[in-house]
Structure 1
């Protein structure tokens, strides 16, 4: 299998400063002949970057939205308005919940999607909801949800909420889904934001597949991690002999510096325009 992953947009610019960047994430995957868009950033700027990179978004087979936060789904409307919409959309169960972030006492900011299920219906988009522990679209492309929470050092940020019946309740991120590609070298795991905890996610995947993880790509949400959590995460990566870490977006500068020191050439900051090829 040949696998090529291009970061269409991310928080940091490309080295030549030719592409647009923003607080968000969008990855384009070519898995043999299958074309997958994983997240759409917070705006439609990833589309302009795709054009500059000679990537045709009219050829998409699947669009994956990892969870219902604006910085991962905000560009979806622009995608629909600027392509032929021939793809299947895959989201987690609860993706359309109204998500908010607590700014200060009793003050909440909307943090969710810029579209709803009516928009999906109006544009005749084929949508699939992932609510199984493990869901395959091919024998080699797998989605995971319902992650087990069995670490004592990973906590969901308490500032994230869902609004239900005019009440704000803590968001447990049951809508979060993760993509994995089976490769002869091991699993290639693609993350959106890892709100559940990156170690919780990876432990769950290993348990369900009984396969080693070769690479972890995407957002790890370690931006708020203390030293205990960072050290335990690093230890987990080492114990499981993960060969490639290509992290970015919500990983945070402190974690990035530690990963660069601990993993050397096995760590890549996966910024806008970066291309990863696994053959």
Structure 2
């Protein structure tokens, strides 16, 4: 069962730590195991981890939320530090892809991914930890895939099929840990319900990719959180300041902002 989450990398940071556009989280379980969720954009997460007295290279495993550069960029540095644990990722996580927002730029992994265990649909690599990917997109529901393609011409849209999240068991109930939630929160929670039968979620933590969405999408996200009776929402990375403010004002649940150095302890 999950004992503690520590943000090693996020878009903002505690005063003594560093930040970048990226995400990396350390997961500590009550059996003593340590897992990583993403590696940020650079080796910054390792520098922060050292100050937080966490040793990512000794982790039992790493799960990748998807193959974008800001979640996989620190992987080569992690391997150079001696990481030998399991790596879990959707097969499409190693594919090169592009963003056409404002300017054309590659947003796939900056280096080829090392050996990894491919995950399609679900995997349970640790007791109390389930990785869910290949998330179906229901017609009419928000998904954050606009301006993404698999080619430089933009003729092959990229639906980000490798988008994944973790369901982590806590004593208060399921905690959903997101990467960027490109599938959209409602699609993600509906898939969680379809696969596990859970209709209530204690906490949702991570990036919601609402920074370039509008108020209609923010409201749909709020309604999804209410539908699943979420008690705690911790949001950061790609959520966006305006969306964060909207959700803080709109929701009655506890709302937190994530940052490098944030620890969430689960009693």
3-state SS, counterpart of residue 231 of structure 1: helix
Q: Which residue of 1 aligns with 2:108?
A: 112
Q: Which residue of 2 aligns with 1:190?
A: 177
State TM-score, norm by structure 1: 0.89
For structure 1, the residue ranges without an aligned partner over 5 or more in a row are none
> How many angstroms does 1:103 deviate by?
4.3
Q: After superposition, where does 1:1-279 map in structure 2 within 5 Å?
A: 1-14=1-14, 17-32=15-30, 33-82=32-81, 84-103=82-101, 108-117=104-113, 120=114, 125=115, 127-131=116-120, 133-150=121-138, 152-163=140-151, 168-211=155-198, 212-263=200-251, 266-279=254-267
> How many angstroms does 1:186 deviate by?
1.7
For structure 2, the residue ranges without an aligned partner over 5 or more in a row are none
Aligned residues: 265
What are the Cα deviations for residues 48-91 of structure 1, in whole angstroms up to 9, with x where unaligned? 10001111123200111111111111111111112x22210111
Q: Distance in 1 between matches of 2:247 and 2:146?
A: 26
3-state SS, counterpart of residue 201 of structure 1: helix
3-state SS, counterpart of residue 28 of structure 1: strand
CA RMSD of the aligned region, Å? 1.9
Q: Distance in 2 between matches of 1:42 and 1:58?
A: 17
Question: Are the equivalent residues in 1 in contact too, given 2:57–2:78 (CA < 8 A)?
Answer: no
Q: Say which is worse superposed, 183-192 or 147-156, in terms of deviation.
A: 147-156
> How many angstroms does 1:264 deviate by?
5.7
What are the Cα deviations for residues 168-195 of structure 1, in whole angstroms up to 9, with x where unaligned? 5111111112111123322111111011
> How many angstroms does 1:225 deviate by?
2.0
What are the Cα deviations for residues 135-177 of structure 1, in whole angstroms up to 9, with x where unaligned? 211342111111121252404432111139x985111111112
State TM-score, norm by structure 2: 0.93
Question: Are the equivalent residues in 2 in contact too, given 1:151–1:200 (CA < 8 A)?
Answer: no
